[in-house]
Amino acid sequence: MAKKKKAKSKATKKKATGRKSGGRSWRDTIKEDYAKKQERSRGDYWNFPDGQSTIRLLPFTHEGDEHVFVETFTHRIEEGDATRMLSCPQAECPICELAESLEEDAARGLRPRRRYLANVIVRGHPDELKIARIPVTVHDRMLDYLEGDESEFCPGGLDPKKGHDFRISRTGKGLRTEYACIVVKRPCPVGLEVKPVDLFDRIGYAKEEALREAADKLSKLYE
């Protein structure tokens, strides 16, 4: 999809907008910036904002089966003031290998964090389809409602007409961030005609060089 956008921005470059001596207008250059932005945000996911949000989980189809969540593992690397997220391939990962070689206390911060991705409709004005990054605690609560102890409050499951929304509230910052998740007991129709994305096609792993480079930098900190 990003490739298509790039091609389009090249095509539009040709019909320069009356700028003399081949100089490009701001509109041409801003188009390039925009294409880059699209590319950059390709891997970006929607995260629960502070306060309360209401979402609807949308199952997607992969090789004939319906799925709701996809599990991912991400290394969170602090670099000065910035935080870098590198998605962990789980096998032959240089950062995981480094964590294995360290004492428990040092290894803890290096281990990848488990998260889940899901297609969700974020309720708002208007409702929007997003790919949400869902923390483990919220994911586990949702499973309780859909399949576990609390399924009596969620009899419609994820049925497009009789299914339920979830209400999530996020409080606190950084390591103190907390999430609460409850089901909306009354049935809420999906209401939006959207096509959920096959999330197995969507997850990508960090490049091996990037993982290796980060592991090398980190290992120096623990020498």
Quick one: which segment of 18-26, 64-72, 96-104, 181-189 binds Zn ion (CB under 5 A)? 96-104
Residue 66 vs 208, nearer CB to Zn ion: 208
Judged by CB under 5 A, does residue 206 bind Zn ion? no
Judged by CB under 5 A, does residue 214 bind Zn ion? no
Rounded to 5 degrees, φ, ψ at 5 are: -60, -40
Of the candidates 35, 57, 58, 96, which one interacts with Zn ion according to CB under 5 A? 96
From the centroid of its chain, how far is CA 96? Answer: 21
What is the DSSP track for 65-84?
Answer: EEESEEEEEEEEEEETTEEE
Enumerate residues 106-145 that contact Zn ion by CB under 5 A.
112
Of the candidates 77, 93, 110, 134, which one interacts with Zn ion according to CB under 5 A? 93
Report whether 114 contacts 97 (CB < 8 A).
no
Judged by CB under 5 A, does residue 215 bind Zn ion? no
- Per-residue binding string, Zn ion, 53-92, x by CB under 5 A, is -----------------------------------x----
CA distance 195 to 121: 11
Report whether 117 contacts 45 (CB < 8 A).
yes
Say which residue the tokens 């009789």 belong to. 162
From the centroid of its chain, how far is CA 66? Answer: 19
Residue 95 vs 117, nearer CB to Zn ion: 95
Preceding peptide of 187 cis, ω within 30°: no
Nearest-approach distance from CB 100 to Zn ion, in angstroms: 10
Say which residue the tokens 């709701």 belong to. 68
Residue 183 vs 218, nearer CB to Zn ion: 218
Judged by CB under 5 A, does residue 218 bind Zn ion? no
Residues that bind Zn ion (CB under 5 A): 88, 93, 95-96, 112
